[in-house]
Structure 1
Amino acid sequence: MQKVALATGLLARFALWMAGIGLVLMTVIIAAQVFFRYILNSSLVWSEPASVMIMGWFIFLGAAVGIREGYHLSFDILLHVLPQKAKLVLHTVSDLVVAGFGVGMVWFGSELAAKTAGNMVPSLGISGAYDFIPIVGGGILVVLFSLERVARRAAGLQTARFGDDAELEI
């Protein structure tokens, strides 16, 4: 379990760095577009579709890392009155539902990519499938990180630094 946690931790760190780089890159592209449009009275025709594509990556990569770290949205009013064992069962059910959602992202994202593979993004000159690849990549990470949380919980390990079962000790 330790090697798996190390590998997924490195993968999560890499994904978070890529998301951060994507956010900065998108900001630079948008700033360049503003400069070109309002200062140089010209326009970068590729800036908007490139920024949207980059945004897809940093959103889905960041969301997957958030799931691994236990920062995803949850409705946990009931959990405040339940015993620890019941909390762990409900957290596991939640993680399995999130993993199922990730499977849907992979499945339907792949279908969308396949259906748009023949279309071209005119200003970028690439296939329209690239707009949907972040959904597939993020879905794969969502499944992987959700299943890691289930496995860590089954092994009696803490699933996140400040996550749902922080009472457990590693």
Structure 2
Amino acid sequence: MSNTSPPPSALRKMVRILDRIADACRIVTGVALVVVTVIFGWLVFGRYVLNATPTWVEQVALLLVMTIAFIGAAVGVHDNTHLSVSLVRSAVPRRVRTALVVCTDVIMAGFGALMLVFGARLTMFKWGSLIPLIQVPEGLRSLPLTIGGGLILMFSVGHLIRLCVGFDERKDSIE
């Protein structure tokens, strides 16, 4: 549902803020990916060259992979590149297509809200114990789930707002 008039300034500001947040998420996940690569290189070097396996690498890598997965998934929601089946959407009339897009955004927002709420509960529950070998709070393992859920909720609501105002510019949604 595209409108020919320019979007309201509040909507443009919201879009800019969401875009900046998504850019920051891309930077975080990119840095996490580089760090995972470097520490696994150190693991291989330590194991086969030094004969001293750095045991902390696996625990840190798990935290980084959680960050990459959940924050990266949120960026996928923002960019509309998350896994979806567009065959049915493409084959139905525009009104039904719009309803399907709204349903998808509502479901994604609900899923993000559940991730946020239950991820926060898990993070708080586990915060008091430490991860062996690296001695950081166990709650850090589920913190990316919580943050990713909040981001998915926020990006999905942003899509719904743009759709309701008539300025949804996502491709393959409402063409």
Shorter-chain TM-score category?
Answer: over 0.9
Q: Does residue 119 of structure 1 match 2:147?
A: no
Mapping for residues 4-153 of structure 1, pairs under 5 Å: 4-153=14-163
Give, in whole Å, the separation in 1 of the partners of 2:75 and 2:135.
Answer: 31
Give, in whole Å, the separation in 2 of the partners of 1:91 and 1:41.
Answer: 55
Task: Give the Å deviation of 1:114.
Answer: 1.9
2:165 to 134, 138, 155: 155
Task: Give the Å deviation of 1:46.
Answer: 1.1
Kept in 2: contact 1:103–1:140 (CA 8 A)? yes
Task: Give the Å deviation of 1:163.
Answer: 4.2
Task: Give the Å deviation of 1:121.
Answer: 0.7
Identify if the C-alpha distance between structure 1 residues 163 and 12 changes in structure 2 by more than 3 Å, giving closer, same or farther: farther
Kept in 2: contact 1:69–1:163 (CA 8 A)? no
Kept in 2: contact 1:117–1:128 (CA 8 A)? yes
- Aligned sequence identity (%): 28
Give me the CA root mean square deviation: 1.2
Aligned partner of 2:173: which letter? D
Aligned partner of 1:72: which letter? H
Cα distance per residue 1:76-114 (max 9 Å; x no partner): 332122111221111011111011000110111112112
Cα distance per residue 1:26-47 (max 9 Å; x no partner): 1111111111111110121211
2:173 to 139, 156, 164: 164
Gaps of 5+ in 2: 1-10
Aligned partner of 1:61: which letter? I
Q: Does residue 2 of structure 1 match 2:32?
A: no
Aligned partner of 2:72: which letter? G
Aligned residues: 165
Task: Give the Å deviation of 1:155.
Answer: 1.6
Give, in whole Å, the separation in 2 of the partners of 1:157 and 1:68.
Answer: 15
List, as ranges, runs of 4+ consecutive aligned residues in structure 1 with deviation greater than 6 Å.
Answer: none
SS in 2 for 1:98: helix
Task: Report the TM-score when normalising by structure 1.
Answer: 0.92
Task: Report the TM-score when normalising by structure 2.
Answer: 0.90
Q: Which has the higher contact order (CA 8 A, sep 6+)?
A: 2
Identify if the C-alpha distance between structure 1 residues 159 and 133 changes in structure 2 by more than 3 Å, giving closer, same or farther: farther
